[in-house]
Structure 1
Amino acid sequence: MRAPCIIVCLLLGAVSAKTVIQQAHDLHATTFTSLVARAGLSHQLSSQGPFTVFAPTNAAFAKVPSDVMTKLSNDKDLLTKVIKYHVTAGVQLMATFGNDIEIGSWANGYKIRINRYQNGQVMTATGSTISSRDNIVTNGVVHLLDEVMFPLPEKSVLQYCASNQNLTQLTYSFVRANLQYDIEGGPFTVFAPIEAAFDALPTGFLNTEFLTLSASRNLLQYHYVRGTYYSAGLRDGETLSTVQGTDVVIHKNSGAVMVEKARILQADIKVTNGVVHLIDKVLLATDHVSGESAPPSIG
């Protein structure tokens, strides 16, 4: 609990005489406050606390597909779970957080992952950019989000890859390279080539006559970095050091995000130990293969 922080701020005149629900409403998160009411949580969030509320803006809810919004409206249990995922106990001020910190949400068993990028200029909560921070009120604090958060799935990187038919070859490669235990650590950011990316490789590229076990591990470890890098935290020209040791460069242009020559097709797939981005090419570092048996490079 961080109630003493509120007391200090009250003495300094920095606290609004509102509840977290009133503050969220006044910050134009009215869709959120309406859904809070529909879930039957308004009274509790107005009369108890302190709470930290991550309130998606109206624009954030406008991004949610209509069928998902309909399901939220018709399924009170699901709605309650999603709303509770946006609430934590105590006063959680963004200035107090480091990077890749998980905090327990009101939704039992589900955690919110806080990330800091660019020396704290950009902060995210489970991948959603925090657009307005530390709006302190009488029973807590409100942070505005530009996207709606959904409870993190109960799948790790490897479990997610194994469950996705478009990542069959990547999953097989992780196991064949004996990286299935390594990739369960983390947190990691994984740039995951889809099936078509592997199919585009020269025939036999992944067979043992072209790649030793060591080279296979290098190839795969070139596809993930330590830490959680959601798309909101990626900058044009930024270099990320892969587990393999070679850097990859991020390129952002006209809405497209590239990792070296690979395009991110689907970003910000949340997993329990990081985040996965689907890419359209297998990433190749110059030192992955060498000698006469090396296959031709692919652009």
Structure 2
Amino acid sequence: VIDVLQQQRATTLLKFIEDAGLTDTLKGAGPFTIFAPSNRAFGRLDANTTAALAADKTMLANVLKNHVVADNLRRSDIRMNERQVTSLAGSKIRLNHYISTGASTANGIQMSTTDHTASNGVVHNINGVIPTPAGSIVDIAKADPELSTLVAAVTAAGLGTFLADQSPITVFAPTNDAFNELGSDVVQKILADKDLLKTILTYHVIPGSLYTAGFHSASLHT
């Protein structure tokens, strides 16, 4: 897989692999599947993140391992929607294929090209850096100050466990500004009516993991 990356001139990824001490590992017998971010994808990282990766080799190695699976996953495997595989970092990578758009994704990051065969595995090129896991949907919402009203609504409706346990689901999360547009009186009335609140909140939840790469004009069942 290292040879394939060299042929592709994936210079940033190769440098990070070398800096993290993973070159010899990825030259091993494998098999390895690498979801390889482009040079441009790494260039879109903010300066603080890039500096942190350069300063912390353990963090860098974990980020890179989050893009590698100890298996030979071909395009036909990726097209099995909602499949989850385990990365070398121990985190889950969710593979999705959207027939409507033709897009394939790894944890929501769209693949640009696939099935670059190597002697010890395969490389799939992706358009971004796969983010490290950030917890459950509820955890993510609690960490975002712009979703504090939504978190309060979920708590009032008793839906916290439901959102944490259901998998996979997609939540279209109204921001505080969205709630504010309803007016404070309306919001308070909704929060006071648990049944109505549950109905409204579950209307924002659909089954399955729908990343933006799969967005198209259609009706969805909540």
For residues 34 and 223 of structure 1, what CA distance do their matches in structure 2 show? 42
Alpha-carbon distance, 1:75 to partner: 1.0
Match of 1:186 in 2: 167
Alpha-carbon distance, 1:116 to partner: 0.9
Q: Deviations over 1:251-276 (max 9, x none)?
A: xxxxxxxxxxxxxxxxxxxxxxxxxx
For residues 195 and 115 of structure 1, what CA distance do their matches in structure 2 show? 30
Instruction: Give the letter for the 2:83 counterpart.
Output: I
Larger-gyration structure (1/2): 1
* Distance change >3 Å, CA 140–CA 209, structure 1 → 2: closer
* Distance change >3 Å, CA 232–CA 120, structure 1 → 2: closer
Instruction: Give the letter for the 1:223 counterpart.
Output: H
Instruction: Give the letter for the 2:23 counterpart.
Output: S
**1:234-273 correspondence to structure 2 within 5 Å:** 234-235=215-216, 237-242=217-222
Quick check: 1:36–1:42 contact (8 Å CA) kept in 2?
A: yes
Secondary structure of the corresponding residue to residue 184 of structure 2: coil
Does 2:155 align with 1:169? no
For residues 82 and 205 of structure 1, what CA distance do their matches in structure 2 show? 44
Alpha-carbon distance, 1:150 to partner: 2.3
Match of 1:157 in 2: 137
Alpha-carbon distance, 1:47 to partner: 2.6
Quick check: 2:191–2:197 contact (8 Å CA) kept in 1?
A: no
Does 2:81 align with 1:99? yes
Secondary structure of the corresponding residue to residue 48 of structure 1: coil
Q: Deviations over 1:84-126 (max 9, x none)?
A: 1111102011212421221100013x11111111268210001
Percentage identity across aligned positions?
32
Secondary structure of the corresponding residue to residue 151 of structure 1: coil
For residues 206 and 100 of structure 1, what CA distance do their matches in structure 2 show? 35
Which of 33, 40, 45 matches 2:14?
33
Higher strand share: 1
CA RMSD of aligned residues (A): 1.8
Match of 2:210 in 1: 229
Quick check: 2:153–2:191 contact (8 Å CA) kept in 1?
A: no
The one of the two structures with greater contact order (alpha-carbon pairs below 8 A, sep at least 6) is 2
Higher helix share: 2
**1:59-98 correspondence to structure 2 within 5 Å:** 59-97=40-78, 98=80
TM-score (norm: length of structure 1): 0.69
* Distance change >3 Å, CA 111–CA 183, structure 1 → 2: same
* Distance change >3 Å, CA 239–CA 209, structure 1 → 2: closer
Instruction: Give the letter for the 2:60 counterpart.
Output: L
* Distance change >3 Å, CA 241–CA 39, structure 1 → 2: same
For residues 197 and 92 of structure 1, what CA distance do their matches in structure 2 show? 41
Secondary structure of the corresponding residue to residue 114 of structure 2: strand
Which sections of structure 2, spanning at least 5 residues, go unmatched? Answer: none
Which sections of structure 1, spanning at least 5 residues, go unmatched? Answer: 1-19, 243-299
Q: Deviations over 1:183-211 (max 9, x none)?
A: 12121111111112212213321334897
* Distance change >3 Å, CA 50–CA 160, structure 1 → 2: same
Q: Which moved more, 1:53-62 or 1:160-169?
A: 160-169
Corresponding residue pairs, total: 220
Secondary structure of the corresponding residue to residue 201 of structure 1: coil
Q: Deviating runs (4+, > 4 A) in structure 1?
A: 208-211
Match of 2:104 in 1: 123
Quick check: 2:30–2:71 contact (8 Å CA) kept in 1?
A: yes
For residues 48 and 54 of structure 2, what CA distance do their matches in structure 1 show? 10
Alpha-carbon distance, 1:25 to partner: 2.0
For residues 191 and 211 of structure 2, what CA distance do their matches in structure 1 show? 34
TM-score (norm: length of structure 2): 0.92
